[in-house]
Chains A and B, each alone.
Chain A
Amino acid sequence: MAADDDDGKRDPGVDRLRVDSRKVDVARLRLAAIDRAVFAAGAGHAAADHDEMVRRTVNMLFGHG
């Protein structure tokens, strides 16, 4: 699969869309904190919550119970 557009050229519009580096830093810290909190206890702990995770995620997207 092509990583760039189909003709292999990089769309110049991409570079005009700026990302705030401070927000990236905040996002990185939050992701790392969640990673530690949820997965540090081990895969068994995470697996126990898996069904709940899937159910809530689908609910948030589709609003189904």
Chain B
Amino acid sequence: MGEPALTQEVTRRWGLAALADEAGFDRLLDTVATSIADRFTLKAHQNLVARRMAYIAWIERLSADNLPAMDYRAFVTICANLIASVARHRVVSFSAMIRDPHSRMIGIVLRYPNEVVALAAGASLYQLRVGELTGEEMGGGGLPAIVVENAAANLARHSEAASRFRELLQLHTPWV
């Protein structure tokens, strides 16, 4: 009797493999975008075509990559792949509900919405997986503020690099 229950328990757990399915991928981006919007009092908007293009890019990279040794380096590679797949497509935009003129971070999020989402999504892979391992509650499915703030802070600290990345994005999607 115990074995089927155990099997159900194992299959119910969240794992990285869930992100191979489009529904799991979409849920992750929803979670990340919602967490960012909540943290900075913004409204999030998604472009579904761009989201599917990001998913296809994610799958293409995963299936094509020759991964390094199957250890943390492979994990780093898939985090980077997720970041690149999301950031290169204009999946998310934010609009300000209440703009705090003194908040530099809100300005960064409004200026680099996809880059912030992409970095937070990459970081969230680790956070979600460890949360699953440790049984830590995620507070209604959102990401901790520190993950979101760190993503925005990375862009703020490396503004020149963020601008260059934005130029690459515009070259990649010149019609937007």
Number of interface residues of A (CB under 8 A): 47
Chain B interface category by residue count: 35 or more
| A53, B52: Cβ atoms closer than 8 Å | no
| B59, A19: Cβ atoms closer than 8 Å | yes
| B17, A10: Cβ atoms closer than 8 Å | no
Interface of B: prevailing SS: helix
Chain B contact residues, CB within 8 Å of chain A: 15-17, 19-22, 26, 30, 33-34, 37, 43-49, 52-53, 55-56, 58-60, 62-63, 67, 70-76, 78-80, 83-84, 87, 118-119, 122-123, 126, 129-130, 133-134, 154, 158, 161-162, 165
Question: Distance in Å from the Cβ of B117 to the closest Cβ of chain A?
Answer: 12
| A57, B79: Cβ atoms closer than 8 Å | yes
Q: Which residues of B contact A42 (CB under 8 A)?
A: 133
Q: Which residues of A contact B72 (CB under 8 A)?
A: 38, 46, 49, 52-53
Question: A1-B46, A28-B17 given. 16 additional CB < 8 A pairs?
Answer: A1-B33, A1-B34, A17-B49, A23-B59, A24-B20, A29-B17, A32-B15, A34-B75, A37-B71, A39-B129, A46-B126, A46-B130, A49-B75, A61-B161, A62-B154, A62-B162
